[in-house]
């Protein structure tokens, strides 16, 4: 990134960390969205609305006509929310599976900005079993149409330094550019000192990239947990990162690109790295 890139990123971070800042928008989407619980379709609609709100993942809202309301019943719990008004929570019971407070409805939004949500039903993503956009299963949260991921081949000279050691060095990285996130450098395994990487049980899922597995970095008796990751089988929209390795720029000692040490980005992963002492032979 250039200096101006970091200035823009810093302004975005400062804006989003400002407690007075609140982004809120609702828009219809032409995608058919399906929600499944206990093997039963509880909602399917081509008329869903997508809510974007500060400090929240995008949320799908369904017209009641496209929801199996016979499977939903009031839980008795309510919550007053800004802009959207009172949320009335609903239990979801398919006969094969029951989820308490699995859905909610806003019957009287308090702001014109939320008027499209009036009388529409939303479901807790993680409480449902499966979600589909058209016939493709979607994981973690809805895909944001304003969120873009681009992967470009590059000849930049990238070095990753951890605990004073160069653990990866490549002149054939693939650079992943993702909306509002720092550039990520995906490197071929052949350019990584794999003998320094220790497999981790940590896993994560990204709706834009797929399922990732993690590695810790061990140098001598020092182990830095979950510092690198890879996608063995990324989703079809992001094939160019398959079986490449990426490190947290926020937590390594340094990322050096074409001889220039990169400024450390500030993101949700900008935390103190977990370093512990282990036996030198631990694997």
SS3 labels along 91-125:
EEECCCCEEEEEEEEECCCCCHHHHHHCCEEEECH
- pLDDT attached to residue 104: 96
CB atoms within 10 A of CB 195: 9
Q: Percentage of the chain surpassing pLDDT 70?
A: 90
Domains and CATH numbers, the chain: 22-138 (2.170.150.40), 147-277 (2.170.150.40)
Query: Does the pLDDT of residue 247 top 60, yes or no?
Result: yes
- The answer to whether the beta carbons of residues 123 and 141 sit under 8 Å apart is no
The secondary structure element, H or E, covering residue 228 is strand 222-230
- pLDDT attached to residue 21: 52
- pLDDT attached to residue 7: 44
- pLDDT attached to residue 4: 40
Query: Does the pLDDT of residue 248 top 60, yes or no?
Result: yes
- pLDDT attached to residue 41: 98
- pLDDT attached to residue 16: 46
Provide the pLDDT confidence category of residue 19 given band limits of 50, 70 and 90.
low
Query: Does the pLDDT of residue 18 top 60, yes or no?
Result: no
Q: What would the pLDDT profile of 149-161 be if each residue is shown by its tens digit?
A: 999 999 999 999 9
Mean pLDDT of 134-139: 90
- pLDDT attached to residue 157: 97
Out of 49-63, 153-167, 197-211, which region has the weakest mean confidence (pLDDT)? 49-63
Query: Does the pLDDT of residue 14 top 90, yes or no?
Result: no
Read off φ and ψ for residue 250, nearest 5 degrees.
Answer: -65, -20
- pLDDT attached to residue 89: 97
CA 129 vs. chain centroid, Å, equals 18
The pTM score is: 0.69
Mean pLDDT of 120-142: 93
Mean pLDDT of 213-222: 96
- pLDDT attached to residue 6: 40
Closest CA to 50 of 110, 138, 129, 168: 138
Q: Which two tokens stand for residue 80?
A: 């007053």
Mean pLDDT of 13-19: 47
Closest CA to 66 of 48, 91, 90, 93: 48
Provide the pLDDT confidence category of residue 22 given band limits of 50, 70 and 90.
low
Query: Does the pLDDT of residue 85 top 90, yes or no?
Result: no
- pLDDT attached to residue 15: 45
Query: Does the pLDDT of residue 11 top 60, yes or no?
Result: no
Average pLDDT of the chain, as a whole number: 88
Alpha helices in 184-264 (DSSP H): none
Query: Does the pLDDT of residue 17 top 80, yes or no?
Result: no
Mean pLDDT of 256-283: 80
């Amino acid at each position: 990134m250039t200096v101006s890139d970091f200035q823009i990123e810093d302004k975005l971070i400062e804006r989003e960390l400002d407690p007075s800042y609140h982004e809120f928008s609702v828009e219809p989407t032409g995608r058919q969205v399906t929600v499944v619980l206990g093997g039963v379709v509880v909602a399917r609609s081509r008329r869903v609305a997508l809510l974007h709100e500060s400090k929240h993942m995008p949320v799908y809202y369904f017209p009641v006509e496209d929801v199996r309301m016979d499977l939903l019943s009031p839980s008795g719990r309510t919550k007053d929310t800004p802009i959207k008004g009172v949320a009335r929570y609903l239990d979801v019971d398919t006969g094969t599976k029951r989820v308490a407070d699995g859905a909610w409805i806003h019957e009287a939004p308090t702001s014109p900005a939320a008027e499209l949500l009036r009388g529409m039903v939303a479901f807790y993503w993680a409480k449902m079993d499966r979600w589909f956009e058209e016939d493709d299963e979607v994981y973690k949260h809805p895909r944001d149409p304003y969120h873009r991921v681009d992967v470009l081949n590059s000849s930049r000279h990238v070095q990753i330094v951890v605990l004073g050691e160069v653990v990866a060095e490549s002149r054939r990285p693939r650079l992943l550019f993702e909306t509002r996130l720092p550039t990520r450098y995906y490197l071929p395994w052949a350019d990584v000192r794999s003998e320094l990487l220790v497999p981790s049980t940590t896993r994560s899922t990204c709706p834009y990239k797929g399922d990732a597995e993690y590695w810790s970095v061990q140098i001598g008796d020092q182990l830095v947990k979950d510092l690198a990751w890879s996608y063995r089988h990324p989703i079809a929209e992001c094939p160019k990162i398959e079986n490449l390795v990426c490190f947290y720029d926020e937590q390594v000692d340094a990322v050096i690109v074409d001889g220039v040490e990169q400024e450390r980005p500030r993101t949700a992963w900008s935390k103190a790295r977990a370093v512990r002492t282990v036996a030198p032979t631990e694997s």
